[in-house]
A and B are shown apart, each in its own frame.
Chain A
């Protein structure tokens, strides 16, 4: 009897307010409280204290770890070649990534961010013809549902960039740009789906209208490749991932490495051919094209390296300061010496 009572209380199923429940329950049974470690607040515990002595080593360790990491990051970042529009080629033998960049373009504006219908993009048939209200005012056009609906889709970046290498005898060689593999795998294969499979998209999108700013309907984004057409067009998918900040860049194409020895982009003159469709002047925007290689830590990113070096140095410096303080004060204030 008594033990079951204890167990009940231990579990924390308290009945009623302490005044009523406690008194009523206790009246029947013995009022003597149980002498358990938990109830008497005497659970065994580890009792650390942050003192200069204990923190010191941690600071030095952090400093010693962070500074090399920072230097490593900084060096790696500096090795990454990145070139904006007036690009000079590299000797790198790795893949080169081609980005387009926009500035002053608020992809993260709330009205813009929510102006999409993920069910429609997921291939849902009812959402195809009856898209979400969030897409307004890019929801219906001429009485037909827009597919894909919403402001994001409507403002799809539609410049075409072509890169030519002009070799020594002056001929223009088109550099092959790979347009697949630029979006998240999960986006391409799970999150975005064409209604009714990838075949016969024209039929599947019948009864819908193209976004007003588009030149061609969604099923004509890449007619050459059924795996890259419609909603699963990778340029489209990349665009649909709204950028965090108003100045952003998005991956456009990959220039694949050719062989182990030959550089991906051999030195020489290059021509970038831009079919200029996308208006940015109206909102004081700028367009850029970036070619970049990539390291183990991603793209060019001096910040992380500098930050690591800074924090590491601060820690190291603080470690020294604490060491001084520790020697001057800790021993004086507490006659007992540093534990362990």
Chain B
């Protein structure tokens, strides 16, 4: 099914890209040879060279371009403006105070980006200069890759990767095919077969290839990897022969040639126009809920800032109305200032106040948040428990922006196959006309001892059935896209005859097909290989049967079936078709439909994946017609996919049912446990699958998504056939609301298990009916609402028969519903990419269906069970950490700036800063930065094991609970309170009658007068200690690192202050801090007041915490307490474990 998946992907990507039509075309002259004059005019189009530029900057534009990009961020721009204002007008603080941090941030970012770009340059150069072989004038010459031009004919050897997008002209293989692996493009390691153009595959040497005279018309490059349409005109004796070109002829840049000695191909897309380059567009940025609250807070603070500045400006002019206050004799303005217009003066005053208070929005918060996210994501990658031994993979973090969002998930959308289940298919049984065949062997070639090759449950079938049975087995051996890969231990084997022994194994991108073919092998029919368009089968009598493969009607998710048309050696033509039951039964005209249907349904209920097999004998005339239909569709340049689909529809009809197969897909380890934990954590789990209802429902029961007492609501086509959609919806909502009407719809108290759980099953068709926009004006919107209302009241929802795009639609529907819940999508396959991209958090599983999901995800984990840890532990921690980080940052800056605001009332609104420049600059950068950063990296309010054991703790932080407005206001008020205590504490100590001298009367007689800088330093000292202690009080997890940074930064502050005031700094033009700190410390009252003010500042917060904990403890707090008690009483646990062990005896 290699091709089926790619078709499927085509659908997704096409939808995503939104490019459907072949808008524009290009003409390529192979070998740059002019076409014969008879045809259209020879217009050499201009194409870019094959240079790949992944770098963003050049040496010359780095500085301006990088600066521009950095200042496009609102925060950076804001700080730049502040800095410029400081430079231009006379402001209270020196430009250094904001310039230095900004410069630091910009430089660090620029260095990081510059380094990354340098690496990109390096890799670009390596790629652009690597040698390629080009056919020129009948000879193969070496060229640098970047010099390739469209129309060049390239020679590629085995294991080389293609330098650009190519059309395969000929191959060293007889049949004109070649194998490629696209591992670096989409992660699929299976080999794909590509075909040379029919008319040129005979040209096998340089000279011959050079003689090809042809032009290619094809669409302009587009990013869809799996879609390509074009046409080649080969001029044989000036007579053009047109052939269609499709993605089966296209060799993509980045893919590698395998198992083929060499090929010749013509360049069609080069450089940045290759599909690979077009696909490296960055994904849209996802923003977390925390970031959104942070931005909301920023706006609030910006308003506070502006209003502060406005109030002060206003008051200043009111106060200055008296001339003696404005310009007392001792403090005159300069002449130029006097002449300035009052409006300009007022405006500059406003700006100056803005500058004075601008620290309330700190530059460093962005840096700290970025660092916290970046460094924090390493803990996810380092997690030992999320390492999978079997795969040898550990968790991958593709974006660190969403760490905290992992702690906020309310809806989990999961894929079934490969995510909930192993995607390790095992053939269980097949049923031919109601007779069941069970191979007694385990897959992967291990034959169970003493197992018969097959076991017929039913009575032996009659001769007619015998024929059907053989046909059935052959159908399964032929109707697939499995490739045979030979063991590459000995070279000779590769070319030797295949005996169907253990030297070969099957590869396919769909594990179902492998399971089926292997199942057939155990039932006696071995598929050997595809050679020269002939499929070889070893039948039960050890005879090789050969079937000519005429057509493959590839799988796609809309038809949900695939077919092959083969010609038996006897000359009979057959169409074999296999697919989902719903895709086959309507097209069947005869066969034992009822028996097969019953069996299929039974198997589906058991959670097996079922496929139905049918055939249609074709007469030569019918085959002619089929060929006609197909070639017509294939040659079409426009709407080729649509026409192909139409053709398939006409061909796959009048089928005769043969039987059905059942393949088991085992549940992933601990999948049920994980789902139960997610439920307990208050998350709603939705399973979105393309599988059919019965199978999916069985999986849901097995994975404990539905319980025995879950009342299942069905919203399926079966029901809507009987009743109108309208009635069904209203019925269901009535059922659900009756239950919930009595009790309050408290999301936190639900799920206790006593009340009825609802589970909803909906299928794709009904869903699209519900979602269909604007059918009856008003009611269509209603459907959505009712549907959402039903969903809200269901603890589990199963959506089956979903097309990939519908998965994304569902996610979007929930995401945009009025509560705006946080969604998470998890999946492993390409069909999950759309929902992974759509959801707030996209998680990829490193499954078997390639790495497409992993590449597009935000986080990738090896197994479904790891979801538990990444959400309940990492997500919880990161949320707690970052919310404290954000709140604390605003808090500490309120504490920092509010005293300055108050000081304006006592200095004539003159914008006199309270603190020295050094303190203003370093407060956020060094005195208070590290403790919070380290806190936000290693805080663990509750033990990891408890978080895992008790998922309900996750509810404590649901709905962004730690960043709600009341909490934000609490922190802000706390900040204002602390600021007031600090400022007025110092004020009263400095007030008219007091604090005029030092306390060391006994030893010295220095009678100091404390000036304004001492005042500021006193406030600042109290401030630094208070905010650091506040964090210390919030820290629940004191490792040596916390001790180090918290006490370390306090010590650093003291040492810095001593140094800063200890020396006459020659480069400064003021020495206002000289000995200020020391003099302050030599004063007894200063010490006493510092201690007093710190105590008074911290007091309310401690009291609030303690009282809240005692009176209204949250679950988290209870658990913290309990955990502590348990830790102090290990004997209890010991006793418990003893009793339990006794019971087990």
Q: Give chain A's interface residues, CB within 8 Å of chain B.
A: 12, 14, 16-19, 22-23, 26, 30-35, 39-52, 55, 62, 66, 69, 73, 82, 94-95, 97, 99, 101, 103, 105-119, 122, 132, 134, 136-138, 151, 154-155, 181-182, 184-187, 190-191, 213, 238, 241-251, 254, 279, 282-284, 292, 294-304, 307-308, 311, 314-315, 318, 322, 325-326, 329-330, 333-334, 336-337, 339-340
Assess whether A31 is in contact with B387, with CB atoms less than 8 Å apart.
yes
From A14, A243, A246, B378 is in contact (CB under 8 Å) with: A14
From A17, A113, A246, A299, B994 is in contact (CB under 8 Å) with: A299
Assess whether A283 is in contact with B325, with CB atoms less than 8 Å apart.
yes
Q: Which of B151-159, B405-413, B816-824, B1038-1046 contacts A (4 or more CB under 8 A)?
A: B1038-1046
CA distance A30 to B1039 in the complex (A): 29
Assess whether B993 is in contact with A97, with CB atoms less than 8 Å apart.
no
Assess whether B911 is in contact with A110, with CB atoms less than 8 Å apart.
yes
Closest to A36 in B: B382
Q: A39-B379, A51-B1109, A303-B991 are in contact. List 16 more A-B contacts (CB 8 A).
A: A16-B116, A18-B374, A32-B394, A41-B940, A42-B944, A48-B1038, A95-B1005, A110-B913, A113-B912, A184-B1079, A245-B990, A245-B1015, A246-B906, A250-B1009, A325-B1107, A333-B1118
* Cβ of B392 under 8 Å from chain A: yes
* Cβ of B127 under 8 Å from chain A: no
Closest to A249 in B: B996
Given known contacts A40-B383, A151-B332, A186-B1074, is B1036 in contact with A48 (CB within 8 Å)? yes
Which residues in B have their C-beta under 8 angstroms from that of A334?
Answer: 1118, 1121-1122, 1125
List 8 interface pairs A-B (beta carbons < 8 Å), by A numbering.
A16-B116, A51-B1109, A69-B1088, A109-B331, A110-B911, A251-B1007, A304-B1092, A322-B1107
Per-residue CB contact flags for chain B residues 95-116 toward chain A (1 = under 8 Å, else 0) read 0000000000000000000001
Which residues in B have their C-beta under 8 angstroms from that of A301?
Answer: 989, 993-995, 1085
Instruction: Across the A-B interface, give the 8 residue pairs with the lowest CB-CB distance, nearest first.
Output: A155-B330, A244-B1015, A39-B382, A110-B910, A336-B1125, A110-B912, A301-B994, A241-B1011
Per-residue CB contact flags for chain B residues 896-933 toward chain A (1 = under 8 Å, else 0) read 00000000001110111100000000000000000000
CA distance A184 to B1008 in the complex (A): 6
* Cβ of B1103 under 8 Å from chain A: yes
Assess whether A73 is in contact with B1088, with CB atoms less than 8 Å apart.
yes
From A41, A132, A238, A297, B938 is in contact (CB under 8 Å) with: A41
CA distance A248 to B1012 in the complex (A): 11
Assess whether B1092 is in contact with A307, with CB atoms less than 8 Å apart.
yes
Which residues in B have their C-beta under 8 angstroms from that of A294?
Answer: 997, 1001, 1007
Given known contacts A112-B331, A186-B1075, A304-B989, is B377 in contact with A18 (CB within 8 Å)? yes
In the complex, which residues 551-573 of chain B have their Cβ closer than 8 Å to any Cβ of chain A?
none
Assess whether A31 is in contact with B394, with CB atoms less than 8 Å apart.
yes
* Cβ of B1105 under 8 Å from chain A: yes
* Cβ of B1145 under 8 Å from chain A: no
CA distance A12 to B392 in the complex (A): 24
Which residues in B have their C-beta under 8 angstroms from that of A246?
Answer: 906-908
Assess whether A106 is in contact with B331, with CB atoms less than 8 Å apart.
yes
In the complex, which residues 1092-1144 of chain B have their Cβ closer than 8 Å to any Cβ of chain A?
1092, 1095-1096, 1099, 1102-1103, 1105-1107, 1109-1111, 1113, 1117-1118, 1120-1122, 1124-1125, 1128-1129
Given known contacts A47-B1124, A50-B1109, A110-B907, is B1064 in contact with A303 (CB within 8 Å)? no
Assess whether B1106 is in contact with A51, with CB atoms less than 8 Å apart.
yes
Assess whether A155 is in contact with B940, with CB atoms less than 8 Å apart.
no
Assess whether B1036 is in contact with A18, with CB atoms less than 8 Å apart.
no
Which residues in B have their C-beta under 8 angstroms from that of A108?
Answer: 906-908, 910, 912, 1012
CA distance A231 to B906 in the complex (A): 29
Assess whether A118 is in contact with B1072, with CB atoms less than 8 Å apart.
yes
User: Shortest Cβ distance from B484 into chain A, in angstroms?
Assistant: 29
* Cβ of B992 under 8 Å from chain A: yes
* Cβ of B895 under 8 Å from chain A: no
In the complex, which residues 852-885 of chain B have their Cβ closer than 8 Å to any Cβ of chain A?
877
Closest to B391 in A: A31
CA distance A330 to B1108 in the complex (A): 11
Closest to B388 in A: A31
CA distance A294 to B1003 in the complex (A): 13
* Cβ of B976 under 8 Å from chain A: no
* Cβ of B778 under 8 Å from chain A: no
Q: Which of B396-404, B450-458, B594-602, B612-620 contacts A (4 or more CB under 8 A)?
A: B396-404
Closest to B389 in A: A32
Given known contacts A106-B331, A314-B1099, is B1014 in contact with A190 (CB within 8 Å)? no
Assess whether A32 is in contact with B387, with CB atoms less than 8 Å apart.
yes
* Cβ of B988 under 8 Å from chain A: yes
* Cβ of B16 under 8 Å from chain A: no
CA distance A298 to B989 in the complex (A): 11
Which residues in B have their C-beta under 8 angstroms from that of A151?
Answer: 330-332
Closest to B1107 in A: A325
* Cβ of B43 under 8 Å from chain A: no
* Cβ of B131 under 8 Å from chain A: no
Assess whether B330 is in contact with A49, with CB atoms less than 8 Å apart.
no
> What bracket does the count of chain B residues touching chain A fall in?
35 or more
Which residues in B have their C-beta under 8 angstroms from that of A182?
Answer: 1007
* Cβ of B1089 under 8 Å from chain A: yes
Which residues in A have their C-beta under 8 angstroms from that of B379?
Answer: 39, 41
CA distance A266 to B377 in the complex (A): 76
Assess whether A282 is in contact with B996, with CB atoms less than 8 Å apart.
no
CA distance A122 to B1070 in the complex (A): 10
CA distance A238 to B1011 in the complex (A): 9
Assess whether B1111 is in contact with A298, with CB atoms less than 8 Å apart.
no
Assess whether B992 is in contact with A103, with CB atoms less than 8 Å apart.
yes
Which residues in B have their C-beta under 8 angstroms from that of A82?
Answer: 993
Per-residue CB contact flags for chain B residues 357-396 toward chain A (1 = under 8 Å, else 0) read 0000000000000000011011101111001000011101
Assess whether B1092 is in contact with A181, with CB atoms less than 8 Å apart.
no
Which residues in A have their C-beta under 8 angstroms from that of B998?
Answer: 298
CA distance A109 to B335 in the complex (A): 18
Assess whether A297 is in contact with B377, with CB atoms less than 8 Å apart.
no
Assess whether A34 is in contact with B994, with CB atoms less than 8 Å apart.
no
User: Shortest Cβ distance from A34 into chain B, in angstroms?
Assistant: 7
User: Shortest Cβ distance from A56 into chain B, in angstroms?
Assistant: 9
Which residues in B have their C-beta under 8 angstroms from that of A23?
Answer: 396
CA distance A85 to B1117 in the complex (A): 61
Per-residue CB contact flags for chain B residues 1005-1021 toward chain A (1 = under 8 Å, else 0) read 11111111011100000
Given known contacts A106-B907, A184-B1008, A283-B325, is B1122 in contact with A43 (CB within 8 Å)? no
* Cβ of B734 under 8 Å from chain A: no
* Cβ of B1037 under 8 Å from chain A: yes
User: Shortest Cβ distance from A134 into chain B, in angstroms?
Assistant: 8
CA distance A66 to B330 in the complex (A): 44
User: Shortest Cβ distance from B300 into chain A, in angstroms?
Assistant: 28
Given known contacts A19-B398, A50-B1106, A334-B1121, is B329 in contact with A279 (CB within 8 Å)? yes
Q: Which of A105, A113, A296, A325 has the most CB of B within 10 A?
A: A113
* Cβ of B999 under 8 Å from chain A: yes
CA distance A322 to B1106 in the complex (A): 8
CA distance A26 to B787 in the complex (A): 46
Assess whether A50 is in contact with B1102, with CB atoms less than 8 Å apart.
yes
From B375, B995, B1033, B1038, A45 is in contact (CB under 8 Å) with: B1038
CA distance A40 to B375 in the complex (A): 14
CA distance A40 to B1111 in the complex (A): 35
* Cβ of B968 under 8 Å from chain A: no
Assess whether B382 is in contact with A34, with CB atoms less than 8 Å apart.
yes
Assess whether A298 is in contact with B1085, with CB atoms less than 8 Å apart.
yes
CA distance A105 to B387 in the complex (A): 71
* Cβ of B775 under 8 Å from chain A: no
CA distance A238 to B1039 in the complex (A): 49
Assess whether B910 is in contact with A109, with CB atoms less than 8 Å apart.
yes
Assess whether B1103 is in contact with A325, with CB atoms less than 8 Å apart.
no
Given known contacts A33-B382, A49-B1121, is B329 in contact with A299 (CB within 8 Å)? no
Assess whether B1009 is in contact with A251, with CB atoms less than 8 Å apart.
yes
User: Shortest Cβ distance from A302 into chain B, in angstroms?
Assistant: 8
From A32, A50, A241, B1033 is in contact (CB under 8 Å) with: A50
